[in-house]
Amino acid sequence: MDTRAWDEQELGRLRADFGGWRIWRAVKSDGRLGEWVASLHDPRVGVEPTVMLPTARLLREALVTQAERACRR
């Protein structure tokens, strides 16, 4: 599987798992894919308005942490 196809599948998984966020890949000025980005749309599922990280795995971990923080409020 090529990188773009894997990215699309991972985006789908992240979006399915974290429905209160808008999730996408940033695009650099040269057209290459950049950071994994999540923008909070439901304050019940997170705290920070935007989360940006270099990998899908790190973004997933951060969104789990966001959910835990939101539950403690």
- What are 9-68's pLDDT values in tens digits? 999 999 999 999 999 999 999 999 999 999 999 999 999 999 999 999 999 999 999 999
State pTM to two decimals.
0.92
- pLDDT (0 to 100) of residue 31: 93
Return the closest-CA partner of residue 4 out of 30, 27, 37.
27
- pLDDT (0 to 100) of residue 2: 80
For the record, the structure tokens of 67 come out as 């959910």
- pLDDT (0 to 100) of residue 4: 81
Helix (H, G, I), strand (E, B) or coil at 55: coil
